[in-house]
Amino acid sequence: MKTSDIEPGKLRARLLRSLGLGLAAAALGGSLFLWIKRGASDDGAPLPLRRAFQVNEKIWARLQSERLSVARPEPPEGQEPRFNGGLGLEDEVDLEDYTVRVESGERRLNLDVAALRALPQTSYSTDFRCIEGWSEVLQYKGTRFSDFMDAYGVGRKSDGTPYRYVGLETPDGGYYVSIDMKSMLHPQTLLTYEENGRPLSDENGAPVRLMIPIKYGIKSLKRVGRIFFSDERPPDYWAERGYDWYSGL
Amino acid sequence: MTKIVEKHPRFIRWAHWLNFPLLGLMIWSGILIYWANDMYWVGIPEALAVRLGLDYRLAEGMGWHFFVMWPFALNGFCYVCYLAFSGEWRELAPDRASFLEALLVTLHDLRLRKELPPQRGKFNAAQRLAYTGAILLGMAALVTGLAIYKPVQAGWLTWLLGGYEAARREHFLVMLALAGFFAVHVTQVIRAGWNNFRAMVAGYEVVEK
């Protein structure tokens, strides 16, 4: 290191300049933090953090490929999947006489589970990842959402292009999600009626739920009561409560 | 006249002091996330956490974590590029002799040994190892973080790190190691005194008055 000689007065000025600049930067940074934390919020998240979610979404939605969530060995048959919340499942439903209401453009369908079971069946065994951080391997069986769309001719506009978003709700409307079409067309996105080799339990969304392992579990809505398509983003329960709407993995 | 040496370039000082709050925010928001999962083997005392405002706030924690990750990564990237292109990396990179020397420095600082090995360059061998280690830990935080953040799109990375849960544990471990570095770093800076600290603020160190 080179040495140099400098007048003590000039040296003091240099130090004070650096300290002043440092303190000013610290004050600026601190104010920025408090401004974000205490300022306006958008659906439960401070506005700049909501914007950051949206920027991240733009980046990841563009990079998102058809890549599958990695296959894992099947868990023992009949093992009950972890139960983590009963939102939208409070009301009793008659499983014998259950239908899913489907709305696409002007069309209205009421499908029973037998109709869904009649569609091509697909099964995967992979990680189910909760936004809380835990994960577990689940085997699940159902029909691909894309197969369901093709079979019933729903989800597309008259010119054949798909709607941008899919909305799903529980029968009582107590829980609802919305998901981008690209993720809904992913081959592992299934309208599911069996988990770990058994029909869904009440707790896990009997008789039919969504399973979308390329998103956090908050998007895998239990007990699908209504499916609808829209170019406007339908409401989403957790996105209204400060969480990232996209939640893609 | 006062004799001084120019110790820390301006760029490094800015990157260093920017990293301080950025890493702080990453650890703070990480702790807000931590509570939602009980897989970590280090228990943060809950009563203490609530008092310090570090309680279970998953949505808020994720919001901050996935916002601050960008400036944290960018600052680290610029810092590493600066080290590479300015040649300053030579002051930080350990060589073969550094490992033994670092041990001797540590023994000296723990007052178990009188003499210090001769210092080569701006930093002693223990500092070289610690600072290089901190840079590697910062990189490891980003890599393990990405493996948790995008376990499908970056599935190959998650697989390389031993799987989703392993990556989580590694990410947590990296944070603990960085916190450990921080504790030792602050202790040593206090021990080294004002002249040393001032160099990271104003750049110069006084050699003799």
Q: How many domains does chain B have?
A: 1
| Mean of per-residue pLDDT scores for chain A | 93
Whether the CB of B153 is below 8 Å from some CB of chain A: the reply is yes
Assign residue B39 the CATH number of its domain.
1.20.950.20
DSSP 8-state secondary structure symbol assigned to residue A107 = E
- Domain with B139, as residue range(s), is 3-208
Whether the CB of A14 is below 8 Å from some CB of chain B: the reply is yes
Pairing of strands B204-208, B2-6: antiparallel
Q: What is the pLDDT of residues A54-67, one digit of tens each?
A: 999 999 999 988 89
pLDDT at residue B195, as a whole number: 92
Whether the CB of B9 is below 8 Å from some CB of chain A: the reply is no
B59, B67, B203: residue with CB nearest A44 = B59
Tokens describing residue A80: 């009950």
> Could you report how far apart the first and last alpha carbons of chain B are, in Å?
7
Distance from CA of B115 to the nearest CA of A (A): 23
Q: Do A133 and B198 touch (CB under 8 A)?
A: no
Q: What is the pLDDT of residues A102-118, one digit of tens each?
A: 999 999 999 999 999 99
Local structure of A224: helix, strand or coil: coil
- pLDDT tier at B93 (50, 70, 90 boundaries)? confident
| Cα–Cα distance measured from residue B169 to residue A88, given in angstroms and rounded to the nearest whole number | 33
Out of B105-109, B132-136, B175-179, least confident range: B105-109
A18, A131, A238: residue with CB nearest B202 = A18
DSSP secondary structure letters along A119-154: SPPEEEEEEEE-TTS-EEEEEEEEEEHHHHHHHHT-
Q: What is the ipTM of this complex?
A: 0.90
Whether the CB of A48 is below 8 Å from some CB of chain B: the reply is yes
Which of A142, A141, A138 lies closest to A73 in space, CA to CA?
Answer: A138
Q: Name the β-bridge partners of A166.
A: A179, A229
CB A44 within 8 Å of CB A238 = no
- Indicate whether B79 pLDDT > 80: yes
Whether the CB of A133 is below 8 Å from some CB of chain B: the reply is yes
Most confident of A40-44, B77-81, B92-96: B77-81
Strands laid side by side in the A226-230 sheet:
A107-112, A99-104, A226-230, A165-169, A176-180
DSSP secondary structure letters along B139-165: HHHHHHHHHHH-TTTTHHHHHHTTSHH
B33, B39, B159: residue with CB nearest A134 = B39
Average pLDDT of the residues in B45-55 = 79
A56, A63, A70: residue with CB nearest B159 = A70
pLDDT at residue B100, as a whole number: 85
Low-confidence ranges of chain A (pLDDT < 70): none
Average pLDDT of the residues in B148-172 = 94
pLDDT at residue B56, as a whole number: 81
